[in-house]
A and B are shown apart, each in its own frame.
Chain A
Amino acid sequence: MTPRLPGKLAQNSLPSIWGSRHIIRSQAPIRTFGIRSLNPPVNSRYNVGHGLPVLKSTPTAALERKANTLPLRTGAIATKKGMTAMYDTETGKRIPCTVLQLDRVEVVSHKTVQKHGYYAVQLGAGWRRPANLTKSLLGHFTSSGISPKRHVYEFRVKDESGLLAVGKMVNADWFQEGQYIDARSNSKGKGFAGVMKRHGFGGQDRSHGVSLTHRSLGSAGPSQGGGSRVYPGKKMAGNMGNEQNTVQNLKILKVDPENGIVVVNGSVSGPKGCVVRIQDAIKKPWPEDILSSLPSS
């Protein structure tokens, strides 16, 4: 709130750009909002104006850099169900594949450049009991007319044309057989792991005078010449796994929109039942059929 000023001052001394018209018309005191400086604005000491080169460290430049690697349309939230195999009927080759399932994936909201600084589609998947949800989240879902979602993720898109309308459902037929996707998910957690398992270190000798340190790392760094300290980022024992991993360029082998099944070539990180986010592969040409039928927001 603005500070309350004693009677006369509040009435007419601070001119309000929104309320001034009313004052003249009705001669009634009207609240003023916002903070206004009494000093005249100071001109910038830097070059301002149109046609200047975009600075590299600005959000505008970041968006320009990303323009070619941002997908044109949103992806989908899937669940890893397990692995099986498919046989190529022509060559007879066995192809190991991962089965993903989409469950009630719907668009919850949008992120726009004007408001958030980037374009993204916020998707939700599954269902969550409304009683288990905070009021703010519940309002977030119901205000866009969507049932509460178990998982909510954002998928960045290049521009406005990639913003699928709020409330639209993304089913398995969003993807085509033969197209390529990137799958990101959290890898299986391995707990606190030693350096041999975590970083592939060689360990130390079984014998030759080595005692009690057969699987540990050797030296953690140089001696006095190197500053007598351990450098940041030194590979050591610690928590392994359970971190996001992206597997790129997985081919889609089969799509079953009726059951929400998407079958992709090869393996995807994480245990069975984990959430996998799939989106058009950024290192392959965008699927052509999709380019022509991009949804308008």
Chain B
Amino acid sequence: MASPSPILRQLGCFRSLLKPQPQSLLQTGLNRRALSTVYSAKPTPKPIPENLPEQFIRQLPLHLRPKDPKARRPIPPPPPSAFNKCKDPVGAVADAQLAVLDPTGERRALFDYRRSQRSVKPGDIVRVTFKNGDPFNGVCLSIRLRGLDTSFLLRNQLTKVGVEMAVKVYSPNVESVEIVQRAASRKRRARLFYMRNPKHDMGTVENIVTNYIRQKRMLSGKKRAPVKAKK
């Protein structure tokens, strides 16, 4: 494509310069400016529709959005904590149970062998009477101190067969626990599981218990043996 030579274009330009100019433009000096830089006033922002639907509010710049009355509220202080009030809820529940099951603390004293002198100790012969009427006698092999779940293990021989029974101390089914005979000497172990071996097995304790019941009856003059630790 043949284009007009730059010299020609220059000439064209010069020609336009030589043209007479209007007086007013010369005075203002605007003739030296390009049209794009002509001063124009800052446009006034268009008003926002009054009832603008909520979904369009996000299209507005932040400073134009309506102020949320909930924003910048002070942080409320925390309410009192139940954790601070009751730090050991499991203990609280267990204590409430103990207060019902053992209000006098008698059962606790009877098996708390570390603190109470008159308590049952491993090796003692113990007689337990239950609510439904049938008693169980035996040698105390161990005492398991676990708060509400405190229990003790009794061993006896019924019809020449070894029998063991674990009894919960605070169970409402246990009516009474009496110590029939103390161990001859303090046992040097807390758990007398060695008594399960035939070498150390005590055999049946029924004879000792019957003797004990007979003596009790004679002393009290009653038909039935009195109970030592009543519920």
Contact = CB atoms under 8 A, between A and B. Distances in A.
B32 interface: no
B77 A104 contact: no
Tell me if B's interface is mostly helix, strand, loop or mixed: loop
Contacts of B16: none
A16 B48 CA distance: 12
Among A31, A143, A148, chain B packs the most CB atoms within 10 A around the CB of A31
Contacts of A103: 81-83
B93 interface: yes
B46 A99 contact: no
B220 to A, nearest CB: 28
Interface string A1-42: 110000000000000101100100000111101100000000
> Which size bracket describes the interface of A in this complex?
35 or more
B86 A146 contact: no
Interface in B83-121: 83, 85-86, 89-90, 92-94, 97, 100-101
A69 interface: no
Nearest to A33: B56
B66 interface: no
Interface residues of B, number: 44
Contact of A143 (B73, B79, B173): B73
Which 4 pairs show the lowest CB-CB distances between chains A and B?
A: A260-B82, A259-B86, A92-B173, A33-B56
Interface of B: 46-53, 55-56, 59, 68, 70-71, 73-83, 85-86, 89-90, 92-94, 97, 100-101, 131, 147-149, 168, 170-173
Given A33-B53, A33-B59, 19 more contacts: A16-B49, A31-B48, A34-B55, A84-B90, A84-B93, A85-B149, A87-B101, A87-B170, A87-B172, A92-B171, A101-B82, A101-B86, A102-B82, A103-B82, A104-B79, A144-B70, A147-B78, A254-B93, A261-B93
